[in-house]
């Protein structure tokens, strides 16, 4: 049996240094509880830019501009090893960590942000970096488009792990690209929540015959620091929930075995058995005997390589 920890504690919104401290403390706590895999939500560092759903794209442009500026100054530049504290904690505690963050495009203009998700092995190395392929609706005012280089499943002591971010999980070819690589633990970090989203994760567990973990950040307006620009305009009601969290783990071809943990700021723990993947795929293996490669073929173009992947390949 393996043990998973799903963290849906709020970060210190738009404060990268303090958010990394919370992440490292959470990894340490999860390791103390026996977790081999620690999962964080989408854009955890330094928080999801939820103002894109609350402001008008034209009339509120001044607020957009100032909030984006603070976000940019608190985003991760991998060329400067700004995930090093997370990596060192993963290594020290001998756990696999999956974490979402706002990433600065350092290999080109140095100005574009990406919605990125990293899987870090228990040796502290970044095993995979995935950039969200299509930012969802108004998110395109914040993030650029990713490419296919991160559509990978990586071997870890916690299982074969792959991840898609939020509404990428509605893209059937993206899902299949992970199924075809034998994903055992499918991570779906998100900003979404509620019954329709949970139904999506349950379907993926059935479709892929894999363990499926999902979580958003459980956060209220009162969690937004007072020094965030235009806090009173953008987040006026302290008790409002920006996202419910809904940390959950579904078993292969089955129901939830832990969660959903709704409107609760904490860590959800769950045990999982990789042998159940084999059992689920005995009758339905859409990356194997149900794939019909004589009829269907999926080609994923991974030829576009950014600086991170060039470094890994060299």
Q: Exactly one of 166, 193, 210, 215 is catalytic; which is it? A: 166
**Does 312 qualify as catalytic in the annotation?**
no
Please state, in angstroms and as integers, the Cα–Cα distance from residue 296 to each residue in 170, 181, 281, 287, 299, following that order.
19, 16, 19, 11, 10
Q: Are strands 256-262 and 267-272 parallel, antiparallel or unpaired?
A: unpaired
Q: What is the DSSP letter of 35?
A: -
166 is catalytic: yes
The residue from 2, 93, 132, 202 that is catalytic is 132
2, 24, 42, 160: which one is catalytic?
A: 42
Instruction: Count Cβ atoms within 10 A of the Cβ of residue 237 and give its class: 0-12 exposed, 13-18 middle, 19 or more buried.
Output: exposed
Contact between residue 255 and residue 202 where contact means Cβ atoms under 8 Å apart: yes
Phi, psi dihedral angles at 142 (to 5 degrees): -115, -45
92 is a catalytic site residue: no
Distances (CA, A) of 309 to 130, 147, 185, 272: 10, 11, 23, 31
Name the burial class of residue 173, with classes exposed (0-12), middle (13-18) and buried (19+) by CB atoms within 10 angstroms of its CB. Answer: exposed
Catalytic positions, written as ranges? 42, 132, 166
């Amino acid at each position: 049996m393996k043990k998973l920890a799903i963290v849906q504690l709020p970060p210190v919104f738009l404060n990268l240094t303090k958010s990394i401290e919370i992440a490292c403390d959470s990894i340490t706590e999860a390791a103390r509880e026996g977790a081999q895999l620690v999962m964080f939500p989408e854009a955890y560092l330094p928080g999801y830019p939820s103002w894109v759903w609350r402001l008008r794209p034209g009339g509120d442009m001044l607020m957009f501009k100032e909030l984006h500026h603070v976000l940019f100054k608190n985003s991760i530049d991998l060329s400067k090893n700004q995930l090093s504290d997370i990596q060192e904690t993963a290594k020290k505690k001998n756990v696999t960590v999956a974490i979402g963050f706002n990433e600065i495009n350092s290999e080109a203009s140095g100005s574009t942000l990406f919605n990125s998700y990293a899987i870090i092995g228990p040796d502290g190395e970044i095993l995979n970096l995935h950039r969200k392929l299509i930012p969802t609706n108004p998110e395109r005012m914040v993030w650029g488009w990713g490419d296919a280089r991160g559509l990978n499943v990586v071997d870890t002591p916690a299982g074969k792990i792959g991840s898609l971010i939020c509404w990428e999980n509605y893209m059937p070819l993206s899902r299949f690209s992970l199924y075809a690589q034998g994903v055992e633990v499918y991570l779906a970090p998100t900003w979404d929540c509620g019954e329709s989203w949970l139904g999506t994760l349950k379907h993926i567990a059935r479709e892929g015959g894999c363990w499926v973990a999902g979580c958003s950040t459980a956060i209220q307006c009162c969690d937004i620091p007072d020094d965030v620009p235009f806090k009173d305009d953008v987040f006026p009601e302290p008790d409002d929930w920006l996202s419910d969290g809904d940390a959950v783990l579904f078993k292969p071809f089955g129901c939830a075995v832990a969660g959903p943990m709704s409107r609760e700021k904490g860590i959800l723990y769950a045990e999982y058995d990789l042998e159940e993947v084999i059992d689920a795929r005995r009758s339905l293996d859409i990356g194997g005997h149900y794939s019909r490669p004589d009829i269907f073929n999926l080609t994923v173009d991974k030829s576009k390589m950014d600086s991170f992947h060039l470094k890994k390949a060299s």
